[in-house]
Chain A
Amino acid sequence: AQKITQTQPGMFVQEKEAVTLDCTYDTSDQSYGLFWYKQPSSGEMIFLIYQGSYDEQNATEGRYSLNFQKARKSANLVISASQLGDSAMYFCAMREGRFGNEKLTFGTGTRLTIIP
C-alpha cells in the first residue's frame, strides 16, 4: 500500500482564490511527521510546512496552512490568496516515528497551475 497518496495529478486555480491540495497517509506508528515541499519549474525542492502527529493545532506558515485530520489520516495543504508564483509541483511527505528512522516517504505530487 502507498504510504503517501496524492490523488490530484494536476489542478488549475484562478489567481487570488484559495486552493487545497490533498494528501492522505498510511502508518501504524502513533508518532509521525508530515511535510509539504514545493518544486517550481526551476527544480529546487523548497520546504513549506510541517505538522506533527501530536500537534493539536493545525500548522500555519504565512499563506500556507495544513488541514490535519488525524482520524481520516489526511494532511491537506491549503494555500490562501493564490499567486502566479505558486504554480509548481507540490509534494507531501511523511517521516514515521520509529526510533532511528530518518527516512522521508514522498507522494507522487500535484502540479498546481495558477491562472491569471
Chain B
Amino acid sequence: DAGVIQSPRHEVTEMGQEVTLRCKPISGHNSLFWYRQTMMRGLELLIYFNNNVPIDDSGMPEDRFSAKMPNASFSTLKIQPSEPRDSAVYFCASSIGLADITDTQYFGPGTRLTVL
C-alpha cells in the first residue's frame, strides 16, 4: 500500500518567492496534518483537516502561510512570500480520522525547504 506522498522532496528557493508543498494522504484516511520540524522548535503542528475541512489552524505562523484540501486525496501548503526563517522540514501526515485515542498518524517523507 502506498503511504503518504509528498512533493517535492527538496525545495530551494529565494526569499520572496512563493512555495507550494503538496501532499497525498493514504487512501481511506479522513484526517490530514501539516507539521513543521526545526532544530529550534522541534515538531510543530501547523494545521489539520478532517473530511477536507480545516479543523485547527492555530499553529499556522502567520498570514504568509495557507493550506487547502480541495478533495480527499490532495492538500497543499503554500508560503507566500517565503522568508529564510521558513527553512525547515515540512511533514504531511494522515490518519483514519477516528474520534478516539487509538487513531494513528502516518507521516510522509517530508519536504526539506531551504529559503535563501
Residues of A within 8 A of B (CB): 31-33, 35, 37, 43-47, 50, 52-53, 91, 95-97, 99-100, 102-104, 106, 108-109
Q: Could you list 12 A-B pairs, sorted by A, with CB under 8 Å?
A: A44-B108, A44-B109, A45-B107, A46-B107, A47-B104, A50-B102, A52-B101, A95-B103, A97-B101, A102-B95, A103-B56, A104-B105
Dominant SS among interface residues on chain B: strand
Answer yes or no: B2 CB below 8 A from chain A CBs.
no
Minimum C-beta distance from B36 to chain A (A): 12
A34 to B107, CA, bound (A): 16
B43-A31 in contact (CB<8A): no
Chain B residue with Cβ nearest A106:
B43
A44-B42 in contact (CB<8A): no
A65 to B101, CA, bound (A): 19
Answer yes or no: B110 CB below 8 A from chain A CBs.
yes
Minimum C-beta distance from A110 to chain B (A): 12
